[in-house]
Structure 1
Amino acid sequence: MQAVTVFRHFLIVCLISISVNIYAQDSTVIANRFTQLKSLKDDTAKVNALMREGRNNNKYYFNKDGENPFFQEAIIIAQKIHYPKALAEAYNDIGTAKRNKSEYILALDLHTRAYKNAEESKDLKTISFSLNNMGVDYRRLDDLENAFNCHLKALQVAEKIHDTRNICVATNSIGNIQLTAGKYKEAIKHFEEALALETKSGNKLGMAINLGNIGYGYQYLGQLDKAIDFYKRSLAVNIELENPTGMSICYTALGSAYQEKKDYNTAMKYLSQSLAVNHKVDDKIHTAENYLEIGKLLTEQRKFESAREYIKQALDLGEQYHFKSVLEDAFKVLADNYKASGNYQASLDNLNKSLLYKDSLVNEKSTTAFAQMQAIYEVDRKDNQIKILQHEQEVSQLRMKRNLAWIISLGGFLVMLIILGFFYLRHRNSQAKRLALQLELKALRSQMNPHFIFNSLSSIHRYIWSNNQEQASDYLTKFSKLMRMILENSQHTFVQLNNELDSLELYLDLEALRCNHKFEYSIRLSNNIHPEDILVPPLIIQPYVENAIWHGLVHLDGQGQLEIDISLEGKLLYCKVRDNGIGRKRAMEIKAQKARTHHSMGMTVTESRVDLIKKTNNVKETNVKIIDLYDSSGEAAGTEVIIVLPVEFVF
């Protein structure tokens, strides 16, 4: 695992060396150049020039442990002129500098800002680059899930535009995440994909990195011979590149692999070669870690005194360069050495020292995290100050445009008045049309009363001539009661359903008497109907009942049946009038034989009323449907009339 960590440090160094062109300049020259650029007009050319100088002098400000003023000024101008692509590039460069100082929280915040601005600029290459940077930050913070998601998104974006560089970085990073998560086969697959791309593009440094990573994957799988083969191939490329850091890491990896194989002589040979190369590497942490690896190897061989000499050299470097992590590991390795040799007190003393450095590192991380959060706050505060200045400029511009806005608003108001006037006139015409329909409906309703009275008086006349006076008197009493109900109902556009049914039932009693009970009738209501709460137009069912009796049932041989079913479905009332009479076809034949040309006025008026109700209420389901009924042999078996009306309620 220590070798993996070393290799990852090497990857970061290599990526920086690829992306940044560094050269030393005198501080006075740099300051003069900054002053010269700052005096230029605020535009994209100025921002781009600031970015170039910032990258050229990034190493200078990195060593001074200060902010790069070129990048800071570029951010201010880019925000002012709304240049999101440059903002993304600046935040990416500053974030990478912070990450190289192990300020991972601050780096993640800056790279997140870069990603948001890259999305706004819609530059896919910058979007992919920013996502890769965020992924590396998350990996440094041990947040592997978010790291994986960022690199996966970066890979998907890069593949759209065939951006080989970002495809390689994302693929390699996903492999490293899977390696850390213990998914070694998946890691090897991604490293092989990255290796193929690096080989195709001729990037030998990328080839060396991925060859080494594949070796780590096979070593974790226990396939040591394969791991050694890939380490040697990586070493060969690093030797060709004359890269001492890469050579050192490969020698250390080979030593670790041979140590697992218990080939201690070969392991010591490669670790010694790594130590020799480390003298050419500026970062002394590699030398310290190399001493520790040799110490572990000698301890495993039970050469305790020789091992302690190497471990103490690692301790000396750790104290000299303040490598607290090296000191923590070195005291832990020394404790293991003393324990293996049987000196338990010395082992306990060194273990306690290791724990002290571990606690110190935890405290140091907490302090660093707090400092980074403060730095994020300062960045936000500066951004807000810039936004406030931009807001003031925008307010000034809005004041200049206010008069134009007033004119546009006034014009819009006039247009709105015209539109409202149009709709008002249309609504008024609609209301007038509705009123005309209601007046026409009222006129038709008023025609029903004399029609029904005429038919009833005719019935009384026929009844008196065909029956005795006592029965005629009883009939006339019921008729007068029916007339009173009809006259009362005729004063209203709608009447309660129970009143309408009472008058209908009285009418049916009179007709049954007049026809010598030639038919029986029934009126049924569905369970969800409360007749006192429902309103219906008066005399809307009676004409169809009358038609069923006098054109269907009176000509029937045998007992007639008249069924009236009323049901409620939603906001529609269904009234079904069903008889078992002779049917419409036979009734028309009888009518023709009697040479009668009179058409039923009640039916005609009622059909017109239903049509007007449909138009007035704008309910398309309102209608009257007449169905001829037949028995199993195809003979006429009566008629069914279905009247559908919109529901009106009392409350």
Structure 2
Amino acid sequence: MNRLLSISVFVTMLFFSSLNVMGQDTIVRKKSAPASKMRSATKSLEVSLDKNDEGQIARDYERVAVEFLNKGDNAKAEEYFKKALAGFTKLKLAEDKTRVTRSLAKVQENQKNFGSAIKNYEAAGSFSKDESEEKINLNDAKRLRTQAAPVAQAVYVESNIELLKKEKKSEEVADAYVQKAENSLQQKDKAVALESYKEALVYAKNKPEAVIKIKNEIANVYASDNQFEEAIGINEKLLAEAKTKQDFNTQIKQLQSLASLYLKKEEPQKALVSLKEAYELASKKGNSAEAKNSLAALVNYYKAAGNDKESMKLYESFFKNLDQLIKSDTTLINAKTFEITEGKIRQLEKEKGLKDELITKTNTFNYFLLGSVALLLLLFLFIVKALYAIKTKNKEIALQSLRREMNPHFIFNSLNSVNQFIAENKELEANKYLTSYSNLMRNMMENSNKDFILLDKEVGQLKKYLDLEHLRFADKFDFKITVDEQLDAESVFIPNMIIQPHLENAIWHGLRYLDKKGFLHLKFNFIKQKVHVIIEDNGIGLVKSQELKTSNQKAHESRGLNNTKERIGLLNELYKKNISFSIKEKELPESGTIVEIVFPLIDKL
């Protein structure tokens, strides 16, 4: 007897080592394998990894995790849910992150890793933007924290059932009812457990695998209460449905369950029939794992019965069909195929990691380069701005210098006039002249640093100047100043100290040489949104004036005209006002000159 047992153990070990080796060889020889959801998910993952599509990679990791969960491989499901969670977290996809965190908590709970499951239920609750969803996750966390108190757990389960019903999450309602049934069994309340399992069936109707699992749990409850007929009835009905659907794996499982029930009911012959049928079906359909389980159960049965002959007969039959069993074992093929695929996935993940690292380094370098370029550009702009500011300041200084350049000549002429009054013993005229002169100089000094002044102030200064000159040359000319009614003298600005030099030229180089009394007319006209300043005199004119001038006077007049042009040029550069200047002699038979300065209306600076 002991010798037979030793042989059976050796044969069993040889069988399963052969399955592994021959199964690998079958992979090589088999040209194609049936399509599956797992294969589809892993193929999609390969493509998304190759394309480095972050969003699709995360979704494909989740698909693979779900397929492992459906197969009952919680460890692998947890691995891929974690990868999916990392992807959704990186992409900041809150809804996906919440869903996968809850799924991760569930597979950790399935593996009795309650600490991690609690943390992830709480995390899913904190991520959720929906109040009901938040409470559902927190209820699950609290349920796991109160495992030692089934009564307290029941409160959280009931709360989740109501919340999930409102959210219309049928599959999760089914899971919650299963939890309620398990909680009721802990409290030894089999009636409530059966009722809860039946409620779970209603909500799990769209998931055949879940329905089968729940019905088997119902059968187990009946069996634990020695209600074998009810349990067997459920298993026989599941077996019949599996035969109708040609679901061979379920058929094998139900035959094994029936054998277990018959043994408990002390009907060994019926148990033997079910086990043989399970073994033959597993062998025929190439399900080596279930063939192993059925064979082990049969060996144990024969061992207990002391029937060595039947045991050896069974082994002979097994070895006779061993090659065919391995060739037709799709589970081995699928497992090996996934092992190869997973190896490829690992390689693609490694390549993706290297790509991401390279992209990160490239981006870092690019950011550094862009930052350096931006810094250089800012430095360049700062230098340009500084140079522009310096250039502008230089122009302003040059403008002030040119404006002040006119003052010494004016001061010299004025003092010369005072000197002449004194020489002629005209003390009263000298005092009057000095008083007017001091007022004019004070006004000119106050505005000496301004490029533009208000029209009314300029007119006032020019009138004072002309009054002074008229005091000296009273018998040589009269003057008049007119301002267009359209111009608001208190709000319109004009260039400072640009008119006076031309008034001076008209008096000193044109009007004072006349044999008769001349006339000087200063006009401010407003034409087509532009201010026209016209200085018109009936003096001797430009040609005769040139003939009478000394070389020193010619140099001064030339410098005065250049000064005006330079100042106008600088004003145009600084203020973009498009100021123009012209001087011309009147046409015969008239004599005299016309100076015209034109600039746009300036009502604010």
Normalising to structure 1: TM-score of the pair? Answer: 0.42
Q: Name the larger-Rg structure.
A: 2
Normalising to structure 2: TM-score of the pair? Answer: 0.45
